[in-house]
Amino acid sequence: MKTCEIISVGTELLLGDILNTDAQFLAKELAALGLCVLHQSTVGDNHDRLLELLGQAAKRSDIIILSGGLGPTPDDITKEVACEFFEKELVLHGESLERMSAYFTAKGLVMPETNKKQAMLPEDCVVFNNNNGTAPGLAMEKDGKHILLLPGPPRELKPMFYESAVPYLKRFSDKVIISHNIRTFGIGESAMSETVADLLECPNPTVAPYAKDGEALLRVTAMADNEAEAEKLCVPMIEEIRARLSDYIYGIDCNSIEEAVVPMLIENKLKLATAESCTGGLIGKRITNVSGASKVFDCGIISYSNEIKHRILGVSKEALDKYGAVSAEVAKQMAKGALKISGADIAVSVTGIAGPSSDGTSKPVGLSYIALADKYNVWVKELNTSRKDRDYNRFVNSSNALNMVRLYINKML
Amino acid sequence: MKTCEIISVGTELLLGDILNTDAQFLAKELAALGLCVLHQSTVGDNHDRLLELLGQAAKRSDIIILSGGLGPTPDDITKEVACEFFEKELVLHGESLERMSAYFTAKGLVMPETNKKQAMLPEDCVVFNNNNGTAPGLAMEKDGKHILLLPGPPRELKPMFYESAVPYLKRFSDKVIISHNIRTFGIGESAMSETVADLLECPNPTVAPYAKDGEALLRVTAMADNEAEAEKLCVPMIEEIRARLSDYIYGIDCNSIEEAVVPMLIENKLKLATAESCTGGLIGKRITNVSGASKVFDCGIISYSNEIKHRILGVSKEALDKYGAVSAEVAKQMAKGALKISGADIAVSVTGIAGPSSDGTSKPVGLSYIALADKYNVWVKELNTSRKDRDYNRFVNSSNALNMVRLYINKML
């Protein structure tokens, strides 16, 4: 298996002015090609440091992918340094000069003199045309080491990668890597890992646990000669994990719980309504992230005060006085109220203290109540994240509300 | 000036499964501390490669910041490898064990045995408490080289960086870099840049334009011996930009338009209500992102169908039939309806076609109407992004609604 590394060039990356999305894009695409990325580095537009890094990279990797530093200004030196390292001369590439000139003409502009630098390309390189900007990319080889130069702007890099770099790299990919993400809700990363501890030792497919935003997931990754073989390796592993964690798994290869729940609602012909206090519209927002949500969702009430909870959702003044806005009873009445006003089949509600500061009662920040009502019953869950992180609390609250819908449909409430 | 480098540890980064936002965050913060970041690297959870990288890093940098690989599972080895490199023993840190145990107890859980590994810390290190998770961070020193270990999840890394790493690193900073972000709404990046073209040439402070999610911003960055000097350099530049772009500027150093609008509402003692169709709760969610929003926001209606628009918001059947749900008239009636049902002082509404697919009418994807009503008037804005990107359209719609509130308060509608 050929090893590959990614070098991102740009002082703006070192200063943190821009997020390095190129490295992620390249890493993912190279993995999909079956190329093994073992290092990623970022270095500024600096001759000595880039040259040194190329030396290290060429020792440990077969293929080096550089992005950035192909611009027309004097501080763009990636191509020059790469040529110095590979001992190649830069010569004018007529076709690229014409393409660049045409690019400016199409925009009603005259090509600035400085851009000509971009048409100077190493002798006997493979030129990657840029259909979305001026700087051509390229690939060159010496002593069995390959180096690819790509422009930094994602809107130029991505199409060039697909159009030119992938055909160039195909010859090196002998293995294919495929991953599947098994997403769970309601179990922590540690507990999940303990349940599948023996599987985490498996070499192929590998199984790796991750945690994010109050959820835990397992990633199953197989390597094989082709896609079909890799998929075949994944199947029994996914089945085994499914058997052990079934109640917690909300989806495989979906990106979020709402992407799992909306299709479940559609399939079961259930209309959902929401009544939100501390989440302030986030549950509605997440449901309507999913295109087609209008089939199952048409009404949400954001009731951020006691008065609105009472007047629009019909929460009783007694419950508000006796238990407070953040209480199981109020959550239940909110869900029932949303059900009534919307005419939906089920309704979820959230009331809680998202923080960072307390609501003036003795209740802790991070406490919330999440309820689900149908025409006959109402269920409520108490949750305490013990965190003062407003964003986290609101997100986890909304996830729990969505998960309650999943549990309801699966008759697990 | 001390040199610093960032090493991100995690196989999921090498595979491109997650975006490396930690590296950007750290790079920006280290630059702000006047520390010079010359290298960033990413390596997997691999003993040999991490050890080799630490060797290279220690040769060229004074301070090494590692993030990731502090979790409870066996593949988390950052701390172990760093200790091997620095020849330090891991010993049980009682206080951290207690903190972790309390963290689980507060959630009503028992700490899994595997988590104990996280309380094993190198002898004589400086412990960084984790107030948002289990893994403590730490700093240790040997032969004048400093190494800092931080957890990978941004929710844990960011607060720990501010609370513990910054105080630790302060002693190394000599120059100070300060940035201010001037945020605009309603002007494109090119038009904004043209207005301040001469200022973009200034060496100190520098002025750089950025565009994101339908907004343009200018970043003013000054470098000086101390914070006061750097601030002094920024002041006249910010004033000049303010003079040229005043109508478009909604805030300086605020993170979003809602962070500007909520305090404006509070100051003007205005209560706001929302009526959302295609944004599905996003406006409410953004308003309630801001702690203290309950002073000015207590009611939002998500009306995702014609029926709910009519029945709850009182939009007339005639308007829905004659103009369709995505129309100026319906947007106006939605805003008026939200005003009435909520009893607020002003109300905003959005109705539009977020995409990716059409709503079955001849109206284009990306079209939307945004209205604002007070007791006497109603204003409406037509917007067409010409994009089929659902997330983008919804976000830009919600930003426009929030911006309308700003314009209303500034009497610019």
Q: Do A44 and B38 touch (CB under 8 A)?
A: yes
Report how many domains make up chain A. 3
Q: In whole angstroms, give the CA distance from residue A313 to residue A300.
A: 11
Q: In whole angstroms, give the CA distance from residue B41 to residue B172.
A: 22
A 87-146 → B contacts, CB under 8 A: none
For the domain that residue B358 is a member of, what is the CATH number?
A: 3.90.950.20
- 3-state DSSP percent of chain A in helix, strand and coil, to 5: 45, 25, 30
For the domain that residue B197 is a member of, what is the CATH number?
A: 3.30.70.2860
Q: Which of B172, B199, B223 is a domain's end point? A: B172
Tell me the residue type at A211. Answer: A
B402/B293 same-domain check:
yes
User: Does the pLDDT at position A97 exceed 90?
Assistant: yes
Q: Extract the residue ranges of chain B whose pLDDT is less than 50.
A: none
Q: Do A293 and B280 touch (CB under 8 A)?
A: yes
Q: In whole angstroms, give the CA distance from residue A380 to residue A327.
A: 10
Comparing CB atoms, the residue among B19, B75, B107 nearest residue A208 is B75
ipTM for the whole complex: 0.76
Q: Which pLDDT score, from 0 to 100, does residue B287 have?
A: 98
Quick check: A175 contacting B, CB < 8 Å? no
Quick check: A51 contacting B, CB < 8 Å? no
Q: Which pLDDT score, from 0 to 100, does residue A126 have?
A: 96
CA distance A13 to chain B (A): 7
User: Does the pLDDT at position A175 exceed 90?
Assistant: no
Q: What count of CB pairs under 8 Å joins A to B?
A: 260
User: Does the pLDDT at position A81 exceed 80?
Assistant: yes
A131/A58 same-domain check:
yes
Q: In whole angstroms, give the CA distance from residue B102 to residue B163.
A: 20
B98/B136 same-domain check:
yes
Contact B197, B245 (CB under 8 A): no
pTM above 0.80, yes or no: no
User: Does the pLDDT at position A109 exceed 80?
Assistant: no
How is residue B329 written in tokens? 């008239």
Which DSSP category does A64 fall into? E
Q: Which pLDDT score, from 0 to 100, does residue B402 have?
A: 98
Q: Which pLDDT score, from 0 to 100, does residue A57 have?
A: 96
Sheet harboring B215-224: ordered strands across?
Answer: B206-212, B215-224, B176-184, B249-252
Q: A318: pLDDT confidence band, cut at 50, 70 and 90?
A: very high
User: Does the pLDDT at position A107 exceed 80?
Assistant: no
A41/A186 same-domain check:
no
A59/A19 same-domain check:
yes
- The DSSP-derived string for A348-396 is EEEEE---SS--SSSSPTTEEEEEEE-SS-EEEEEEE-----HHHHHHH
Q: How far is CA B161 from CA A17, A150, B135, B149, B156, in A?
A: 18, 34, 13, 10, 9
Question: Mean pLDDT in chain A?
Answer: 94
Q: Do A200 and B13 touch (CB under 8 A)?
A: no
A118/A205 same-domain check:
no
How is residue A29 written in tokens? 């695409």
A43/A154 same-domain check:
yes
The secondary structure element, H or E, covering residue A67 is strand A63-67
Contact B133, B70 (CB under 8 A): no
- The DSSP-derived string for A197-253 is TTGGG-SSSEEEEEEETTEEEEEEEEEESSHHHHHHHHHHHHHHHHHHHGGGEEEES
* β partners of residue A206: A221
**pLDDT tens profile A34-72:** 888 999 999 998 999 999 999 999 999 999 999 999 988
Mean pLDDT over A164-178 rounds to 87
Mean pLDDT over A296-323 rounds to 97
Query: Nearest residue on chain B to A301, judged by CA atoms?
Result: B301
Mean pLDDT over A305-327 rounds to 97
Q: A133: pLDDT confidence band, cut at 50, 70 and 90?
A: confident
Mean pLDDT over A164-168 rounds to 94
User: Does the pLDDT at position A249 exceed 90?
Assistant: yes
User: Which of A40, A49, A217, A349 to mutate to probe the B interface, most B CBs <10 Å?
Assistant: A40
A 176-195 → B contacts, CB under 8 A: 177, 179, 188-191, 193-194
Q: Which of A129, A147, A172 is a domain's end point? A: A172
Q: Which pLDDT score, from 0 to 100, does residue A170 have?
A: 87
Q: Which pLDDT score, from 0 to 100, does residue A196 have?
A: 96
Q: In whole angstroms, give the CA distance from residue B57 to residue A39.
A: 14
B183/B157 same-domain check:
no
Mean pLDDT over A398-403 rounds to 98
Q: Which pLDDT score, from 0 to 100, does residue B212 have?
A: 76
B214/B105 same-domain check:
no
Containing structural domain, residue A363: 257-409
Question: What are all long-range contacts of A142-147, with beta carbons under 8 Å and residues at least 24 apart?
Answer: A142/A86, A142/A87, A142/A88, A144/A62, A145/A58, A145/A61, A145/A62, A145/A63, A145/A64, A146/A62, A146/A63, A146/A64, A146/A172, A147/A54, A147/A63, A147/A64, A147/A65, A147/A66, A147/A82, A147/A86
CA distance B377 to chain A (A): 24
Quick check: A285 contacting B, CB < 8 Å? yes
Q: Of A100-104, A165-169, A344-348, give the lowest mean pLDDT range.
A: A100-104
Q: Which of B118, B144, B172 is a domain's end point? A: B172
Sequence-separated (6 or more) residues with CB below 8 Å from residue B200:
B193, B207, B208, B209
User: Which of A1, A8, A15 to mutate to probe the B interface, most B CBs <10 Å?
Assistant: A15
User: Does the pLDDT at position A326 exceed 80?
Assistant: yes
